[in-house]
Amino acid sequence: MTRLLPEGASLRFEGLEQPLQILRALGGGTQGEVYAVRCGAEELALKWYLPACLERDPQLPRRLRQSIALGAPSEAFLWPLALLEPTAESRPLIRHPKAGFGYLMALRPAGFVGAHRHAGGDLEISLQNVLRAGFHLADGFHQLHLKGLCYKDISLGNLFLEPGSGRVLICDNDNVDIDGQGGGSVLGTPGFMAPEVLLGKAKPCASSDQFSLAVLLFRLLTRHDPFRGQRELAIRCLDEPARRRLYGEEALFIFDPGDPGNRPDPEEHAAALVTWPIYPRALQELFEQCFGPGLRQPERRPLTGQWTQQLSRCLDRRQHCPHCSQETFPDPPRPARCWQCGSPLPPPLQLQLNQGRVSATAGNTLHRHHGDPLAPIRLDQPLARFVHHPEDPRLLGLHNLSGEPWPGQLTNGQSFTLAPGKTCNLAALQQLHSSAGPITVLRP
Amino acid sequence: MPFPNVRLSNRPLHFIYLCDCSGSMAAQGKMQALNQAIRQSLPGMAEVAGNNPEARVLVRAVRFADRAEWHLQEPTPVQQLQWRDLEAGGITAMGEALELLAGVLQSPPMEERALPPVLVLISDGQPTDDFEAGLATLMRQPWAQKAVRLAIALGHDADLEVLQQFIGPEPPGGGRSPRRPLQASNATSLAQYIQWASTAVVGAASMPASQVQGAAAGNIPLPDLPPTVLDPTDDVGPLVW
Chain A hits for B234, Cβ within 8 Å: 95
Q: Which of B5, B9, B105, B225 to mutate to test binding with chain A, by most A CBs within 10 Å of its CB?
A: B9
Given this model, what pLDDT does residue A183 score? 67
Question: First CA to last CA across chain A, in angstroms?
Answer: 64
Q: Is A266 on the interface with B (CB under 8 A)?
A: no
Smallest Cβ distance to B212: which of A185, A320, A340?
A185
Q: Are residues B9 and A269, on separate chains, in Cβ contact within 8 Å?
A: yes
Architecture per CATH, A348-442: Sandwich (2.60)
Asked if this assembly's ipTM is beyond 0.90, the reply is no
The CA distance from A202 to A208, in Å, is: 9
CATH number at residue B145: 3.40.50.410
For residue A385, the distance in angstroms to the closest alpha carbon of chain B comes to 18
Q: Strand pairing of A82-84 and A365-366? A: unpaired
Residues 158-187 of A with CB under 8 A from B: 185-187
- Over residues A118-130, mean pLDDT: 94
Which amino acid appears at position B161 of this protein? E
pTM above 0.90, yes or no: yes
Closest to B51 measured CA to CA, from B202, B231, B190: B202
Question: Which residue segment(s) compose the domain that B191 sits in?
Answer: 11-236
pLDDT greater than 70 at residue B33? yes
Identify which of A401, A386, A314, A368 has the alpha carbon closest to the alpha carbon of residue A133: A314
Taking an 8 Å cut-off on Cβ atoms, the answer to whether A57 and B212 are in contact is yes
- List of chain B residues whose C-beta atoms are within 8 Å of the C-beta of residue A241: 219
DSSP letter at A222?
A: H
Peptide bond into B108 cis (omega under 30): yes
- DSSP notation for A66-120: HHHHH--SSTTB----EEE-B-TTTGGGSSSSS---EEEEEPPPTT-EEHHHHHT
Residue B93 lies in a domain: yes
| pLDDT tens track for A186-239 | 888 889 999 999 999 999 999 999 999 999 999 999 999 999 999 999 999 999
CB of A9 within 8 Å of a chain B CB? The answer is no
Flag whether B203 is in a domain: yes
Domain range A10-106, CATH architecture: 2-Layer Sandwich (3.30)
For residue A324, the distance in angstroms to the closest alpha carbon of chain B comes to 10
Q: Report yes or no: A290 and A256 within 8 Å, Cβ to Cβ.
A: no
Please tell me the distance in Å from A5's CA to the nearest CA on chain B: 10
List the single residue in A with minimal CA-CA distance to B111: A236
Mean confidence (pLDDT) of chain B = 88
Is the pLDDT confidence value at B230 over 60? Answer: no
Domain count, chain B: 1
Q: What is the DSSP letter of B52?
A: -
Confidence of residue B67 (pLDDT cuts 50, 70, 90): very high
In CATH, the number for domain A113-309 is 1.10.510.10
Residue A83: band (very low, low, confident or very high) from pLDDT cuts 50, 70, 90? very high
Mean pLDDT across chain A? 93
Torsion, Cα B20 B22 B27 B32, to 10 degrees, reads 50
The predicted model gives A24-40 an average pLDDT of 87
For B115-154, how does the pLDDT look when each residue is reduced to its tens digit (9 = 90+)? 999 999 999 999 999 999 999 999 999 999 999 999 999 9
| B9: contact with A, CB 8 A cutoff | yes
* C-beta contacts of A422-430 below 8 A and 24+ residues apart: A423/A387, A423/A389, A423/A397, A423/A398, A423/A399, A424/A397, A424/A398, A424/A400, A425/A389, A425/A395, A425/A396, A425/A397, A426/A349, A426/A360, A426/A386, A426/A396, A426/A397, A426/A398, A427/A395, A427/A396, A429/A398
CA dist., res. A137 & res. A22, Å (int)? 31
Angstrom distance (rounded) from CA A290 to CA A285: 8
Q: What percent of chain A has pLDDT over 90?
A: 84
Domains of chain A by residue range: 10-106, 113-309, 348-442
Largest CA distance in chain A: 81
Q: What angle do CA B184, B186, B190 make, to 5 degrees?
A: 50
Q: Which of B35, B52, B32, B21 is nearest to B199 (CA)?
A: B52
pLDDT grade for B222, boundaries at 50, 70 and 90:
confident
Q: Is residue B55 one of the residues assigned to a domain? A: yes
- The verdict on A118 touching B (C-beta cutoff 8 Å) is yes
Confidence of residue B51 (pLDDT cuts 50, 70, 90): confident
Residue A1 and residue B221: Cβ atoms within 8 Å? no
Sign of the dihedral defined by the CA atoms of residues A91, A93, A99, A102, in that order: negative
Q: For position B176, what pLDDT does the model report?
A: 82
Q: Hey, are the CB atoms on A187 and B213 less than 8 Å from each other? A: yes
